């Protein structure tokens, strides 16, 4: 009989280095590193390991199960990975690989805001896609508490995802939510009395310096775009928020994400984005201005830099100005601004959005 074990790591390690951790003499084979998608990682491993992207498949004689398992754990511990035992369906990793401490009260917090914009009638599709994806591979982003006013009155643990969807309808298609670090809350906005809605999510910029978090959040950004009829989505860095220890506040010293207009389409973000998702309507007309963009079906995804950066630290956008909204006094989005400041609509948009 044989014994199999799988070693999941956030990044590839030369197989020679993996085998070099062997202590003792016993026969085995190692196949890898093999690339894996988040949905292919066993749930027990995904819940423990941040951004597992490769697997090593190990096969040994059953008599060597104990030393093989110990060796696999040494490899996983050394490289912030996890071990999956197919025989027992048990996962193992060192403790705390995904844990991000909750910061105390802070001023000057830098935040990355993700927003997926849709026609209001399609917002529920994005809400469902978001919840499905974070349940699979980014549980820290799940709405633990949600509601309209603080303290948020609903809890996910009491009713699950179905109750959240019911509450969204009961609260007239508006919910704010709190999640777990390194995420700093979000919102679901839609309704029959508006034309456009969005799903929004905030995350600490410092967490996204870690490749594992960055890989998972990017995966979420793209998956929601693919699984729902997103018109446009962006990931924008804003500086200077205030963190109370439980809530995030925009202050007079903050730079703001472009404000929303739910009653008609205002246009694209005024300046360069860290990430941009352009649905079919925009992709059809803006492709020549998005060099390096990756195509997903009829949509385009553009990543302006590897690490998150505000627009003043990114290459200037090539998107023509007539597709971008502006601020009333001509200020750029990196200037100190009021979150509720009205935008001047873009001069044009793809015909279906006008």
Is 295 in a helix, a strand, or coil?
strand
Comparing CA positions, the residue from 117, 115, 113, 132 lying closest to residue 38 is 132
pLDDT at residue 338, rounded to an integer = 45
Check pLDDT > 50 for residue 54.
yes
Check pLDDT > 50 for residue 340.
no
pLDDT at residue 12, rounded to an integer = 93
Residues 109 and 204: beta-carbon distance below 8 Å: yes
Question: What are the residues whose beta carbons fall under 8 Å from the beta carbon of 135, sequence distance 6 or more?
Answer: 142, 161
- How does pLDDT run across 164-177, given as a tens digit for each residue? 989 998 888 899 99
For helices 123-137 and 211-227, the axis angle rounded to 10 degrees is 150
Q: C-alpha 250: how far from its chain's center?
A: 21
CA separation for the pair 178, 183 (Å, rounded):
8
- How does pLDDT run across 225-281, given as a tens digit for each residue? 999 999 999 999 988 888 887 788 877 666 655 556 788 898 998 888 999 999 999
Q: What domains can you pick out in the chain, each with its CATH number?
A: 2-93 (3.30.70), 106-353 (no CATH)
Q: C-alpha 301: how far from its chain's center?
A: 14
**In 25-105, which ranges are E strands?**
28-35, 54-61, 82-85, 90-93
Between vectors from CA 331 to CA 337 and to CA 106, what angle results, nearest 5°?
30
Comparing CA positions, the residue from 270, 311, 354 lying closest to residue 112 is 311
pLDDT bucket at 20, cuts 50 / 70 / 90: low
């Amino acid at each position: 009989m044989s014994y199999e074990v799988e070693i999941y790591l956030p990044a590839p390690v030369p197989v020679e280095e993996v085998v070099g951790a062997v202590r003792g003499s016993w026969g085995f084979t190692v196949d890898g590193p093999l690339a894996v998608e988040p949905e292919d990682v066993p749930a027990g491993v995904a819940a423990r390991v941040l951004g597992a992207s490769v697997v090593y498949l190990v096969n040994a004689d059953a008599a060597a199960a104990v030393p093989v398992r110990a060796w696999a754990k040494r490899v996983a511990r050394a490289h912030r990975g996890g071990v999956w035992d197919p025989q027992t369906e048990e996962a193992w990793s060192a403790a705390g690989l995904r844990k991000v401490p909750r910061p105390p009260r802070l001023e000057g917090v830098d935040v990355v805001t993700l927003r997926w914009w849709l026609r209001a009638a399609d917002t529920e599709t994005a809400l469902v896609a978001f919840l499905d994806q974070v349940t699979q591979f980014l549980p820290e982003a799940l709405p633990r508490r949600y509601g309209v006013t603080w303290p948020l009155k609903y809890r996910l643990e009491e009713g699950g995802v179905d109750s959240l969807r019911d509450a969204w309808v009961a609260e007239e298609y508006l919910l704010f939510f709190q999640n777990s670090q390194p995420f700093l809350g979000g919102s679901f906005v839609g309704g029959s009395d508006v034309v456009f809605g969005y799903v929004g999510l905030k995350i600490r910029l410092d967490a996204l310096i870690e490749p594992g978090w960055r890989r998972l959040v990017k995966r979420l950004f793209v998956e929601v775009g693919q699984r729902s009829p997103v018109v446009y989505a962006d990931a924008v860095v804003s500086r200077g928020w205030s963190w109370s220890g439980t809530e995030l506040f925009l202050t007079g010293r903050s730079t703001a994400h472009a404000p929303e207009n739910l009653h008609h389409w205002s246009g694209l973000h005024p300046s360069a984005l860290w990430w941009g998702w352009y649905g079919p309507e925009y992709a059809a007309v803006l492709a020549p201005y998005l060099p390096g963009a990756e195509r997903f079906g009829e949509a385009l995804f553009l990543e302006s830099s590897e690490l998150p950066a505000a627009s003043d630290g990114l290459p200037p956008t090539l998107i023509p100005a007539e597709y971008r909204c502006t601020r009333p006094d001509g200020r750029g989005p990196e200037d100190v601004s009021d979150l509720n400041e009205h935008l001047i609509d873009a001069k044009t948009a793809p015909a279906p959005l006008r």
